[in-house]
Amino acid sequence: MPIVKSVSRAVNQLLQSSGCGCGISVVPIRCLGISPRQVASDASFHSVSFSESDHPRVLITGGLGQLGVGLAKLLRKRFGKNNVILSDIRKPADNVFYSGPFIYSDILDYKNLREIVVNNRITWLFHYSALLSAVGEANVPLARAVNITGLHNVLDIAAEHNLRLFVPSTIGAFGPTSPRDPTPDLCIQRPRTIYGVSKVHAELMGEYYHYRYGLDFRCLRYPGVISADSQPGGGTTDYAVQIFHDAIKTGKFQCNLKPDTRLPMMYIDDCLKATLEVMEAPAEALSMRTYNISAMSFTPEELAQEVQKHVPELKVTYSVDVVRQAIADSWPMNFDDSNARKDWGWKHDYDLPELVTTMFSFLGSDSRIAQAN
């Protein structure tokens, strides 16, 4: 088929240029007006299929965020250290750098990202690069570039190279007109943050690429995720991490949400477990491409009461951040994750008491906690 072969050669030639003469970097397949699947089936490179290797070759973008390092650790235990590449645009800490393969990867640089996938024979891609809710509202142009333009690059590369792609979504993908208690998988979604809008966009584009090009796209809507080994990163639910650090360091905590603000939450181990489970689930078991997952739902007041069982002298005050409160008031109070539990057997391990006990055990005890116990 000379026409197809000539198209393939044209793609390879275009990859050596900086774009299409319009002053910006443009994905070659878009310039040619052909589908990613068409290029993938005829291009000269070789993409490793799952039957040709014992384990997937994994790339994690935005890997230095809250979830990336923990996910890399989990996947390396399962698939081998050298089969999981962590990437970001920031310099990693020494313990992260020496724990396994790490490379620089800018998702806005299409050519660099494509080279990484080809050179490392990537078969699974976890796309964690994103600006979170409160940070995104402070810099909408940057959030639009990272969360939307970066996603487009990832989708095209994943479709072109027949990757299995995971993109996390969020409670922020819902808005004030969505049902809040509980929020089902399928309902009206009209978020009012650039973060939420970009995540709805990711859900729909991933589903479109699945049906249009056969992309193996998988997505989970995360609740607020709580972990002990990362600092709060600008999310609306980050108060639920900050309270533990403040309880240990100062014995005082000022919450930026109202005490009765109920939101769905999850301990990071449950979150990572769910992510691996949905990626390993047989395609025929998935009735949809985006699922809610949850473990518990609580308010700042309920969390503070549980924390005070370990640190009785903890003083909690409230100074409401208007922006964060408005965001939280538009989000679900409880997630309906019955489809995930039915389709691929999702089951959480941590409720609120277990979460609090585990957080303190990881963060370490000082005299206040020792005395309390």
CA distances 239 to 153, 188, 324, 363, Å, are 32, 27, 10, 16
Annotation marks residue 291 as catalytic: no
Which residues, 6 or more positions from 71, have their beta carbon under 8 angstroms from its beta carbon? 60, 63, 126, 128, 272, 275, 276
Q: Which of these is catalytic: 110, 195, 209, 350? A: 195
Q: Which two tokens stand for residue 122?
A: 């990537």
Report the catalytic residues.
Answer: 195
